[in-house]
Structure 1
Amino acid sequence: MRPPQAVLSLSLVDGFLPTLFLALGVVALLWLGIAGRKLGLRTILVFAVVAAGSTALLYVLAEHIFHWWNTSLPRTLYAYSALAVLGFQLAFRQVAAPGTPALRRTAGVLAALALLGALACTVNLAYAQYPTVRSLLDPPSATDDPLPRPAAAGMDRPAASEQDWSPPPDMPGEGQVYRAEIPAGASGYASHPALIYLPPAYLADPGAVSLPVLVLIHGQPGSPNDWLVSGRIAEMMDGFASRHAGLAPVVVMPDASNDSNPDWPLCLDTSVSDSATYLARDLPAWVQQQLGAGTAGARQWAVAGYSFGGTCAVQLAANHPDVYPTFLDIAGENEPTDAEGHQALLDTYFGGDEQAFAEQNAVDRFRRMPFPELAGVVVVGREDRVYAPEGRQVYEAARAAGADVQLQELPGGHSWQVWRAGLENNLDWLSGRLGILDP
């Protein structure tokens, strides 16, 4: 049974619901501390040492051995984890101690659940991965239906724009997200299916032809589905389309993981994968042929991404400005990285050759040659102490190379608070570059 619409629309990142989860966690920890006084100071100190030690071990394992995540993880989450572990130990003693009344056992279980909910809430507040109850319990999904064929398409068709488009009266009110395989004829790149958003104007009968294309790259870890669930891309693009007669870019969200390869590709051509060829040759050719979109040339193409995807967007723009002359880098790095260090990256992807890496690395390319036709926006989070300085370096390098580039700083850290707003705030700019709106 699905929860009511009013419940599904509740926010998990602001308002009363996250406040309630956090308050319940605080109350639970206080109650467990008071109820655990009879355990004695020595036992509670042992619990505190175990909590601190296990959290320190998590830090070492996650950031220095297995590299589950990087230093962008908010350090406050380690403190919350330690408090939760302390509370779980106290709750276990409440539940497992011989002779404990049933009511107290039940209260111990509920307290542990409250702590777990509060800990999950703090993680979600840090990244805004699930913005609403709906995104968690009833997330949007793509359809596996066949992609609609455009009513009229061809390389000689004029580019669609708001100025020359008149929507038919029965145009759909919303776009649709499809799941599709994009073949890798030139690159041999292995890939999970891509997600493709088609706007209302495309789905109309007759539909707009030769719409522009926005390629969105997800983060690491991640998948195209993150744009759908956490980025709410369909909702965002439908909102844009509703203000512009149903027009919006065709949005292609490819798999950037190389079919979950342990060594993720770098949106470059390397010994691991020719992912740049896939994204700059295979994907555009397929989109033009199968969807009839982006057929008016490079001016109709843009690439954007967040975090790992932001780094990818810059790499593709710098190496293939003839394909992607417009880019949006949201919280990307100043260069591709490997968790084990720069030399490990060279060894894994470039046979240890620094020059081979520099040939394709965007910042190095910006230093070597001018890019007067390239335009981009670099978005950084004000509280992102890791990626914000690197984004500024990319901006400075691109500007020095003659690119028409902007730097935007948004409130927030390395999270969807910045990633989603970074795209939504620049839709008008992108659509001006792509020809839907007057630039």
Structure 2
Amino acid sequence: MNPLDWDLIDGPAPALFAVVGGIALLWLVAGRRRFLVRAVLPALAIGAVGGLVVWFVTEKVLNSWGAPQPAWFYLLGGLGIAGVVLAVAKVRASPRWWQRCLAVVAPIVVLAAVAAGVNAYYGSYPTLGAATGGSAVPDLGAVRTPADAEAGPLSTLADWTPPADMPATGKVYRTTIPGTVSGVKAGPAYVYLPPAYLSATPASVPVLVLIHGDPGGPEDWITGGQLPTVMDSYAAAHKGLAPIVVLPDATASTGPTPSLCLDSNYGRAGTYLSTDVPNWVKDTLKAGTDAKTDWAIGGFSYGGTCSLTLATGHPDAYPTFLDISGEDKPTIGAGQDALIAGYFSGDATAFAAQNPLDVITTRTLAGTAGVITVGADDTFYRPQGEKVAAAMKQAKVDVRLQTVPGGHTWEAWKAGLQDNLDWLMQRYGVVPG
């Protein structure tokens, strides 16, 4: 087995890291009574204070995570800090060279165990390859020319016959999507091309734009979301047919905070995602050119909020949406008043014009449909998703609410996509409903 394929979530790796990290910490703690009093107790105290400081700064001051994190998250962090402090004391107290070497290695092992425990909870890096960067993603380049791709109606499961040269799996490419209309200067984007699109006589396939979370980037869908595996598995069961998946940079902003996928003082991100991204796909990949029903938008957490914002604000671009663990409105850590002041110069009406739950009270979204998924254990985002679903139904928007296993982690986010691929393909008209 390739070491890069080692499972860091469900395999024995998390337990192994915990055991080895525990042994390393115990070795750092071990010593005579004088060492325990002068080094261990102060180190533990520093670790406890450090964990509290990290909690206060990240959750109360910066709201870095967007939601409260479990207490053990900061307990592990405190142990990591204590391990580093103990290592300094151990180096000074150790008379032998090999003990000093161990004292340098031990805190690294402790920190690795802490990182492995946090990763096992969130599921951000499911394998060692994902955690270390894995294999390089090739640049998109000239994958398609106008003569190569279909420009007509989507191929359907009933009328598509896979050609002999169709590859068994799809491919992921790295690219840049320019802000031609919006002026947005976005970072790298990624594109998944399904097997049916990669044959010499490609199928005409739909387009799914997926938005990442914040903090984070488009590559998170590839690592934590295991997008290539999820899409290849679906394609294998459907004659190679699956959507082209576009993963744009959705946090590009001219301000100090993310764009929130809005047109605001901090850039025209709403225009970028609803106009520039589709135009680029149509021009470069010759996909999504037949009808607006060829398109869908989705995302998790911050990206879920973005998908809702774009679907309600730009229904002609995205008549289908997948809101995975999103919020009930665009938000920033500093609060709603700070958002309106910074993004809209204090104009609450300008914010309301793009805020999804305000938009649905002023316009009819006939033809729009969406799925809102919430994690069963997500006590912070689940109530917001339920609020959005209730408001959308009251506004006569075709939505369905789903509860999936997990909290605000990849367990829930991955399921939100994987469990709804059939629904998406039915909405596109590719598979029968």
- TM normalised by structure 1 equals 0.92
Question: Residue 209 of structure 2: SS of its match in structure 1?
Answer: strand
Q: Which runs of 4+ in 1 moved over 6 A?
A: none
Amino acid across the alignment from 1:412:
G
The equivalent residue for 1:397 is 391
Match of residue 304, structure 1, among 298, 302, 315? 298
CA displacement, residues 363-417 of structure 1 (integer Å, 9 cap, x when unaligned): 1223344434221111112222221111111111112111221222222222212
Distance 1:32 1:193 in 2: 43
CA contact (8 A) 2:39 2:86 kept: no
Structure 1 residue 235 corresponds to structure 2 residue 220: no
Match of residue 121, structure 2, among 126, 133, 140? 126
The equivalent residue for 1:328 is 322
Equivalences for residues 218-233 of structure 1 within 5 A = 218-233=212-227
Structure 1 residue 204 corresponds to structure 2 residue 199: yes
The equivalent residue for 2:409 is 415
Equivalences for residues 64-143 of structure 1 within 5 A = 64-97=60-93, 100-143=95-138
Match of residue 58, structure 1, among 42, 54, 61? 54
CA displacement, residues 282-318 of structure 1 (integer Å, 9 cap, x when unaligned): 2222222322211221111100001111100000011
CA displacement, residues 215-262 of structure 1 (integer Å, 9 cap, x when unaligned): 011111222111222222122211111111111111111111226853
The equivalent residue for 1:23 is 19
CA displacement, residues 101-121 of structure 1 (integer Å, 9 cap, x when unaligned): 334334433432321111111
Equivalences for residues 288-367 of structure 1 within 5 A = 288-367=282-361
Question: Residue 360 of structure 1: SS of its match in structure 2?
Answer: coil
Distance 1:366 1:72 in 2: 29
Question: Residue 284 of structure 1: SS of its match in structure 2?
Answer: helix
1:152 shift after superposition? 4.9
Question: Residue 367 of structure 1: SS of its match in structure 2?
Answer: coil
The equivalent residue for 1:264 is 258
Question: Residue 69 of structure 2: SS of its match in structure 1?
Answer: coil
Count residues in correspondence.
432
Equivalences for residues 31-42 of structure 1 within 5 A = 31-35=27-31, 37-41=33-37
Identity of aligned residues (%): 42
CA contact (8 A) 1:94 1:100 kept: no
Distance 2:103 2:33 in 1: 14
Distance 2:148 2:155 in 1: 12
User: Cα gap change, 1:10/1:36 in structure 2, threshold over 3 Å: closer, same or farther?
Assistant: farther
Structure 1 alignment gaps of length 5 or more: none
Structure 2 alignment gaps of length 5 or more: none
User: Cα gap change, 1:94/1:148 in structure 2, threshold over 3 Å: closer, same or farther?
Assistant: same
Amino acid across the alignment from 1:114:
V
CA contact (8 A) 2:253 2:259 kept: no
Identify the range of structure 1 (64-73 vs 232-241) with the bigger mean alpha-carbon deviation. Answer: 64-73
Identify the range of structure 1 (103-112 vs 334-343) with the bigger mean alpha-carbon deviation. Answer: 103-112
Equivalences for residues 268-287 of structure 1 within 5 A = 268-287=262-281
User: Cα gap change, 1:14/1:73 in structure 2, threshold over 3 Å: closer, same or farther?
Assistant: same
User: Cα gap change, 1:200/1:260 in structure 2, threshold over 3 Å: closer, same or farther?
Assistant: farther
CA contact (8 A) 1:366 1:400 kept: no
1:140 shift after superposition? 4.4
Distance 1:203 1:147 in 2: 9
Question: Residue 163 of structure 1: SS of its match in structure 2?
Answer: coil
User: Cα gap change, 1:135/1:351 in structure 2, threshold over 3 Å: closer, same or farther?
Assistant: same
1:67 shift after superposition? 4.3
Distance 1:110 1:273 in 2: 46
Equivalences for residues 114-193 of structure 1 within 5 A = 114-144=109-139, 145-149=141-145, 151-153=147-149, 157-193=152-188
CA displacement, residues 45-103 of structure 1 (integer Å, 9 cap, x when unaligned): 33332222222222233233444433343331111111222233333222222x52334
Distance 1:242 1:344 in 2: 48
